[in-house]
A and B are shown apart, each in its own frame.
Chain A
């Protein structure tokens, strides 16, 4: 039925590519809101940096004006460090290009490429949450699914030896996807069959995953020659290929992530399953009356979401770290909720938001070194951005924007009572 419809509509639909749909959805709301939310979050982050700088307090004892100046100075220094650390220091790039030395050029361009590398897990995890949102499911368990995906892929990475890379890499990635899918499948099944709310179940699954990984890294998966909870290194054949020499860690995972984004777009907007998925998310009752299998769609959506999150973990392990340690994730799974909301649960939006978050995360390291601002300020900024995105009324009030007459609900998540 749905297939027939898409066939008759095919010529008109063909013109609408991924960006077209994204833009259409964006302009239905307001492009201003996400932009202003991001800007406001970054500004408030700078304010926190300024307020927590010690020299501001010593300046305060002399004169308030000087304190304000010192604060602005501190914030600007942090932004500059953030920029240099994430995009690259323009002077250094010019110098390196002028010198023509390969190593110097690599070092100068490394920050930008490292930002892309850092955004890979964000893209996957953001897609995972976005896919769930589209089906009306709040997958807050991306973090746990990411851990399980990392565990399964690192296991395949080091336990299977003697495979050619062309087989080993997909096998390890597939294992990661499968592990994450299992961790999404369980709450999906519980939701569909018993009505147990997926938010609670995925939170519980997160902690089960954390404890499981602690156990495995101190037991069966521990590297033989150490007492630290760390896994053995994966085989060279399981490593995702890198495109440049050290120190650039930019790897194939970035393009796999983009492909996954296209895949999610195609699934959501060009297939029957995607249509059913969005219908179940927008109006489960309508979906039921239309004869859609809600149980199947819910379980599939959660499994796919878990698989994407699992790939996020797999990419970190196979592309960046080559091993698994407990602290390998800096909360990608939780930040991804923000990503999906900023990106309006659309693959293109998610990719753009992920690039932003990856850039921030990467620049934060430089900020810590150069400006003595702990990296955790990034989490604060992300929380603020998320708050502004989730409550656009705040942004409208601050910047005196007009409230649109017709508002789409961005989220269709029901409380656990429903």
Chain B
């Protein structure tokens, strides 16, 4: 019901002339930015080369070579054209899709400008984006699991951090798979604490999340300083090898980018699909969401609100633990203090950006992962753009979405409200 109202409302929003004009001006501004910032600082005759071969691939693609200046002009022109059309006629319901298109054109222009006179490995960029999206999206999925059942979880960061450390220690002692399992369980254990505090004791869920974050940073740094720094054998788990999906990996270009990753990426894809279908196409999901939207109604219908919430939060914590294990067992191969570096909070942002939907969150994760990856690459390329501003992009984008500038997110109605059973 509220969804319907939301669509109506958003349809009305698209129709308003102000919004149409604002969007048109945004597109024109991006066109102008391409023109003045990029094209103006590019010399004529310089070319940009995009390599399409990921390292070690057998299929050879010819490199894409563009003359940078004409390409930039063409992209600026395309953006300006779209902007003009938006101002005069408007794209109506497709505005957000067009916004995505313009953003893609802008990013393409940016990349061409960055790599002018040099070559950029496009395949490598895409692969790195996928990899960087893994922990962010796993964090977001953890948040979705909790919040769809009405429990706010800002402790994703802490659960990830603890998961990472526990996975590293157990991975070093008993092998990678035991490490992974231990990391997942550690996340689930912390989540159980969050669940007891916020469901049983009805502590404010943000306070409870803060408790877990402070505790996690404290205990991981404590153990790291006390033991891991001295006994290296406790912190040397190695990493999961890449799995090549037979057959699919041979698809030219896409194969090596998508079908050759370690288990964390494939795990993410599986959990993503499971969660999407579970939430929206099963009885379990319906109950889960009912508890998050209107616990009293759910209770009246005989759904056990507390049990549903406990399950949701603990599963969410295990997801965060899996995401945390990625850092030690899937990426770095050892635990460093505070190594998650805010990825859990970016996951929280991706959850909001993706409108509490698994695939939306994955999209946001890809976008934020791209920014993350680009920031790292830019530093290597020695580009004049400070990479810190790229790293800010996810947070700023989330605030814009939350403010309702680009459509408004639909958060679960009972998110963050403890449930009090009546009649006792």
Q: What 0/1 pattern do residues 126 to 156 of A give for CB contact below 8 A with B?
A: 0000000000001010000000000000000
- Contact A413/B206 with A207-B392, A215-B389, A382-B214 known, Cβ cut-off 8 Å: yes
Q: Is the CB of A390 within 8 A of B211?
A: yes
Which residues does chain B contribute within 8 Å of A335, judged by CB atoms? 214
Q: Is the CB of B211 within 8 A of A201?
A: no
Number of interface residues of B (CB under 8 A): 51
Measured in the bound complex, the distance between the Cα atoms of B346 and A196 in whole Å is 17
A215 to chain B, nearest CB (A): 4
Q: Which of B26-34, B122-130, B265-273, B407-415 contacts A (4 or more CB under 8 A)?
A: B407-415
Which residues does chain A contribute within 8 Å of B212, judged by CB atoms? 383
Q: Is A384's beta carbon under 8 Å from chain B?
A: yes
Q: Is the CB of A207 within 8 A of B342?
A: yes
Could you list 27 A-B pairs, sorted by A, with CB under 8 Å? A48-B219, A52-B222, A52-B226, A193-B403, A194-B403, A200-B348, A204-B398, A207-B342, A211-B391, A211-B392, A334-B210, A337-B207, A374-B225, A374-B226, A376-B221, A379-B214, A383-B211, A383-B218, A384-B215, A387-B208, A390-B197, A390-B207, A391-B208, A415-B416, A416-B415, A416-B416, A417-B150
Q: Is the CB of A390 within 8 A of B203?
A: yes
Beyond A199-B154, A379-B217, A390-B211: 4 further Cβ-contacts under 8 Å? A199-B206, A374-B225, A380-B215, A387-B197
Q: Which residues of A359-418 are within 8 A (CB) of B?
A: 372-374, 376-384, 386-387, 390-391, 393-394, 411, 413-418
Q: Is B399's beta carbon under 8 Å from chain A?
A: yes
Q: What 0/1 pattern do residues 48 to 87 of A give for CB contact below 8 A with B?
A: 1000100000000000000000000000000000000000
**Which chain A residue has the least Cβ–Cβ distance from B222?**
A376
B203 to chain A, nearest CB (A): 5
Measured in the bound complex, the distance between the Cα atoms of B389 and A391 in whole Å is 39
Q: Is the CB of A196 within 8 A of B388?
A: no
Measured in the bound complex, the distance between the Cα atoms of B358 and A71 in whole Å is 47
Q: Is the CB of B210 within 8 A of A208?
A: no
A345 to chain B, nearest CB (A): 12
Which of B227, B386, B412 has most A Cβ within 10 Å? B386
Q: Is A263's beta carbon under 8 Å from chain B?
A: no
- A215: contacting residue among B150, B206, B386, B396, CB under 8 A: B386
Q: Is A36's beta carbon under 8 Å from chain B?
A: no
- B201: contacting residue among A197, A218, A393, CB under 8 A: A393
**Which chain A residue has the least Cβ–Cβ distance from B345?**
A203
Q: Is the CB of B402 within 8 A of A197?
A: yes
Q: What 0/1 pattern do residues 384 to 424 of B give for CB contact below 8 A with A?
A: 00101101100110110011100000011111110000000
Q: Is the CB of A390 within 8 A of B399?
A: no
- Contact A417/B207 with A201-B399, A376-B218 known, Cβ cut-off 8 Å: no
Question: Which residues of B are in contact with A by a Cβ distance under 8 Å?
Answer: 150, 152, 154, 197, 201, 203-208, 210-215, 217-219, 221-223, 225-227, 342, 345-346, 348-349, 352, 386, 388-389, 391-392, 395-396, 398-399, 402-404, 411-417
Q: How many A-B residue pairs have CB under 8 A?
A: 160
Q: Is the CB of A390 within 8 A of B154?
A: no
- B349: contacting residue among A190, A196, A204, CB under 8 A: A204
Which residues does chain B contribute within 8 Å of A317, judged by CB atoms? none
- A414: contacting residue among B389, B398, B416, CB under 8 A: B416
Q: Is the CB of B222 within 8 A of A415?
A: no
Which residues does chain A contribute within 8 Å of B215, judged by CB atoms? 379-380, 383-384, 387
Q: Is A90's beta carbon under 8 Å from chain B?
A: no
Can you list the 6 inter-chain pairs with the closest CB atoms, starting with the nearest?
Answer: A415-B416, A379-B218, A383-B215, A215-B388, A374-B225, A376-B221
Measured in the bound complex, the distance between the Cα atoms of B415 and A413 in whole Å is 12
Q: Is the CB of A200 within 8 A of B219?
A: no
Q: Is the CB of B403 within 8 A of A190?
A: yes
Q: Is the CB of A203 within 8 A of B348?
A: yes
- Contact A386/B214 with A212-B388, A215-B388, A215-B389 known, Cβ cut-off 8 Å: yes
Which residues does chain B contribute within 8 Å of A415, judged by CB atoms? 150, 152, 205, 414-417
Q: Is the CB of B217 within 8 A of A331?
A: yes
Measured in the bound complex, the distance between the Cα atoms of B396 and A227 in whole Å is 29
Q: What 0/1 pattern do residues 97 to 139 of A give for CB contact below 8 A with B?
A: 0000000000000000000000000000000000000000010
Which residues does chain A contribute within 8 Å of B349, judged by CB atoms? 200, 204
B134 to chain A, nearest CB (A): 19
- B417: contacting residue among A204, A208, A394, A418, CB under 8 A: A418
Q: Is A338's beta carbon under 8 Å from chain B?
A: yes
**Which chain B residue has the least Cβ–Cβ distance from A411?**
B204
Which of B212, B218, B219, B352 has most A Cβ within 10 Å? B218
Which residues does chain B contribute within 8 Å of A194, judged by CB atoms? 402-404
Q: Is the CB of A374 within 8 A of B416?
A: no
Which of B207, B222, B225, B396 has most A Cβ within 10 Å? B207
Q: Is the CB of B210 within 8 A of A386?
A: yes
**Which chain A residue has the least Cβ–Cβ distance from B207?**
A390
- Contact A418/B416 with A197-B402, A200-B398 known, Cβ cut-off 8 Å: yes
- Contact A211/B416 with A52-B226, A204-B395, A204-B398 known, Cβ cut-off 8 Å: no
Q: Is the CB of A386 within 8 A of B207?
A: yes
**Which chain B residue has the least Cβ–Cβ distance from A385?**
B211
Measured in the bound complex, the distance between the Cα atoms of B413 and A212 in whole Å is 34
**Which chain B residue has the least Cβ–Cβ distance from A378?**
B218
Which residues does chain B contribute within 8 Å of A384, judged by CB atoms? 215
**Which chain A residue has the least Cβ–Cβ distance from B414?**
A417
Q: Is A257's beta carbon under 8 Å from chain B?
A: no
**Which chain B residue has the least Cβ–Cβ distance from A394?**
B201
- Contact A208/B392 with A200-B398, A334-B210, A416-B411 known, Cβ cut-off 8 Å: yes
Which residues does chain B contribute within 8 Å of A205, judged by CB atoms? 395, 399
B408 to chain A, nearest CB (A): 9
Q: Is A353's beta carbon under 8 Å from chain B?
A: no
Which residues does chain A contribute within 8 Å of B412, judged by CB atoms? 417
A151 to chain B, nearest CB (A): 13
Which residues does chain A contribute within 8 Å of B219, judged by CB atoms? 48, 376, 379-380
B380 to chain A, nearest CB (A): 15
Q: Is the CB of B395 within 8 A of A207?
A: yes
Which residues does chain A contribute within 8 Å of B416, judged by CB atoms? 414-418
**Which chain A residue has the least Cβ–Cβ distance from B231?**
A54
Q: What 0/1 pattern do residues 204 to 220 of A give for CB contact below 8 A with B?
A: 11111011101100110
Which residues does chain B contribute within 8 Å of A380, judged by CB atoms? 215, 218-219, 222
Which residues does chain A contribute within 8 Å of B398, judged by CB atoms? 200, 204
Which residues does chain A contribute within 8 Å of B150, judged by CB atoms? 415, 417
Q: What 0/1 pattern do residues 172 to 184 of A give for CB contact below 8 A with B?
A: 0000000000000
Q: Is A312's beta carbon under 8 Å from chain B?
A: no
- Contact A374/B222 with A190-B402, A391-B197, A415-B414 known, Cβ cut-off 8 Å: yes
B210 to chain A, nearest CB (A): 5
**Which chain B residue has the least Cβ–Cβ distance from A391?**
B201
Which residues does chain A contribute within 8 Å of B386, judged by CB atoms? 215, 218-219
**Which chain A residue has the least Cβ–Cβ distance from B349?**
A204
Q: Is A341's beta carbon under 8 Å from chain B?
A: yes
- Contact A334/B214 with A194-B404, A196-B399, A390-B197 known, Cβ cut-off 8 Å: yes
Q: Which residues of A276-301 are within 8 A (CB) of B?
A: none
Which residues does chain A contribute within 8 Å of B201, judged by CB atoms? 391, 393-394
Measured in the bound complex, the distance between the Cα atoms of B228 and A376 in whole Å is 14
Which residues does chain A contribute within 8 Å of B396, judged by CB atoms? 204, 208
- Contact A411/B207 with A200-B398, A417-B417 known, Cβ cut-off 8 Å: yes
